[in-house]
């Protein structure tokens, strides 16, 4: 049940939603947003593709196996924890190597560090898991529909 309108809109919307999700994720530490929300938003984008253009298209759009993405996310979170552990001796302690704080307590530099990596892990875990279940569900449902039709 492909719909031309939905399909066309999706092609335009999908990159926008993805960019929005990365943006929401990026600013999450200082403005509303973050890994959970960004990940859910990205998953919504792929769900949209899946509904509009089918399972195969969504799988192509995602490029990697969703389970691998989730595992990569969990790995990121673990690495960030170990990073803090190696640096300060506390697992998951925040490390900000590119930020310096001046005398007034204002910070300068790139907001990239172990906490950023951790949030990135959350992003990928949510994205990978939701997409994984979605694809598996759709896969099984469509196959069983075929079986019934036979």
Positions in the binding site for another protein (CB under 8 A): 24, 28-37, 40-41, 43-44, 47, 51, 67, 70-71, 73-74, 77-78, 81, 91-92, 94, 96, 99, 105-107, 111, 115, 118-119, 121-122, 125-126, 128-130, 132-134, 136-141, 143-145, 147
14 or 81: whose CB is closer to another protein? 81
62 or 125: whose CB is closer to another protein? 125
Least distance to another protein from the beta carbon of 34, Å?
Answer: 4
Least distance to another protein from the beta carbon of 13, Å?
Answer: 13
Contacts of residue 139, defined as CB under 8 A and 6 or more positions apart, other chains included, come to 55
Beta bridge partners of 101: 107
Torsion of CA 26, 62, 136, 144, to 10 degrees: 140
Least distance to another protein from the beta carbon of 8, Å?
Answer: 20
Own/partner contacts of 138-144, CB < 8 Å, gap of 24 or more, are 138/50, 138/55, 139/55, 142/55
Least distance to another protein from the beta carbon of 29, Å?
Answer: 4
Least distance to another protein from the beta carbon of 129, Å?
Answer: 4
57 or 74: whose CB is closer to another protein? 74
CA distance 6 to 42: 18
**Beta-carbon-side half-sphere exposure of residue 136 (alpha carbons within 13 Å):** 9
CA distance 56 to 142: 12
């Amino acid at each position: 049940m492909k719909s031309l309108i939905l399909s066309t809109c999706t092609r335009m919307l999908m990159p926008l939603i993805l960019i929005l999700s990365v943006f929401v994720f990026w600013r999450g530490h200082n403005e509303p947003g973050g890994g959970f929300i960004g990940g859910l938003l990205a998953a919504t984008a792929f769900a949209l593709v899946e509904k509009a253009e089918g399972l195969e298209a969504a799988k192509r759009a995602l490029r990697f196996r969703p389970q691998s993405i989730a595992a990569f996310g969990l790995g990121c979170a673990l690495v960030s924890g170990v990073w803090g552990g190696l640096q300060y001796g506390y697992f998951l302690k925040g490390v900000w190597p590119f930020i310096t704080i001046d005398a007034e307590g204002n910070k300068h530099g790139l907001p990239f560090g172990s906490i950023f990596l951790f949030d990135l892990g959350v992003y990928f875990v949510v994205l990978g898991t939701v997409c994984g279940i979605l694809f598996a569900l759709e896969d099984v449902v469509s196959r069983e529909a075929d079986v019934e039709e036979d």
